[in-house]
Structure 1
Amino acid sequence: MATEIERKFLVKGDFTEFIKKSTRIVQGYLSSVPERTVRVRIKGDKGFITIKGIGNDSGTSRFEWEKEISIEDADNLLKIGEPGTIDKVRHDVQIGKDWYEVDEFHGDNEGLTVAEIELDDENQDFEKPSWLGKEVTGQSEYYNSMLMKNPYKNWLH
């Protein structure tokens, strides 16, 4: 079993000079209950199925299992999934020795940009660039599975 340890932040400034790679992602869910999510994702030219468990008290760590599947299988699974999809561009951003995944959301979540950093340990130090905003780790409204149900366009800004 694998454990994912990550911290999540809103993005408040321009990070574009640090982008190393960008990939479009379309994803949906076969199950989005808090105790377990089953995600189907098309990332560039690859398909994936991912199961995530419920997070710990801080929301920093949780079980994650992922397998690559064919694009055709991913497409077919998206068709039978829960209503709605997430459409975003993921930017791989390097700051010193640290790597962030910065997601710029489109469609119903247009205007939302979130940065995540995966860590080896919950207490690991990492470089925080000036464009990193408020930490939203463990705030379920920022989970992709919740953004599908209550998109950013519906929030009071």
Structure 2
Amino acid sequence: MQEIERKFLVTSTVFKSEAFQQTRIVQAFLNTHPERTVRVRIKGEQAFLTVKGKSNAAGTIRMEWEKEITVPEAEALLVIAEPGQIEKIRHEVNVGTHVFEVDEFLGENKGLVVAEVELTKENEIFLKPDWLGVEVTGDIRYYNSQLSKNPFKYWKS
């Protein structure tokens, strides 16, 4: 139930040719409280309800609980979610012994591409592909719960 991950901006589209899977994701939040978020997500033909706790100071570790639900249940929950639905294509890429999840955002977050890698320990060493850019782990602007409230297209460069 503990999630350890690091998050990076992506500098090119090379990851697309390296991906072994692409999945469309639609998600929204039932709760975006700073201490916890409750997310409903439709990922391809599956749906999930996820609760995430507050991250540690570095932004790398937090509690995560996830339960698979039916797509009709998720669709009903999306109707009552907070404003600001997130749409993205997730590209999964093998890099060494890890899988990077590269999210190519659509809609109001179009233009933002973020890669995440899940780790088994906070200081775990992992290979970094050439298309990996600046690390944004712990920068709350890049949390999906925040992108739903303050979409990328409204950010000032």
Same structural fold, with TM-score higher than 0.5 when normalized by the shorter chain: yes
> Which residue is 2:48 aligned to?
48
**Contact 1:18 1:95 (C-alpha < 8 Å) held by counterparts:** no
Q: CA offsets, 1:7-63, max 9 Å, x none?
A: 000000221221000000000000011100000000001110000000001000000
- Cα pair 2:96 2:126 within 8 Å, conserved: no
Contact 1:9 1:135 in 2 (8 A): yes
Listed as ranges, the gaps of 5+ residues in structure 2 are: none
Root mean square deviation, CA, Å: 0.6
Query: Size of the alignment, in residue pairs?
Result: 156
> How far apart are the structure 1 equivalents of 2:9 and 2:100?
12
Q: Which residue of 2 aligns with 1:10?
A: 9
For the residue of structure 2 that corresponds to 1:47, the secondary structure is strand
The whole-number CA distance in structure 2 between the counterparts of 1:143 and 1:77 is 20
Counterpart amino acid of residue 22 in structure 2: S
CA distance in 1, matches of 2:155, 2:136: 15
Superposition TM-score, scaled by structure 2 size: 0.98
Q: 8 Å contact 2:4–2:122 — kept in the other structure?
A: yes
Runs of 4+ aligned structure 1 residues displaced above 4 Å come to none
Q: Does 1:67 align with 2:67?
A: yes
Q: Which moved further from structure 2: 93-102 or 54-63? A: 93-102
Match of 2:148, SS?
Answer: helix
Map of 1:57 onto structure 2: 57
Q: How does 1:1-157 map to 2 (within 5 A)?
A: 2-13=1-12, 14-157=14-157
Distance 2:137 2:125 in 1: 15
Structure 1, unmatched stretches of 5+, are none
TM-score (norm 1): 0.98
Aligned counterparts of 2:81 and 2:98: Cα–Cα separation in 1: 34
State the secondary structure of the residue aligned to 1:93: strand
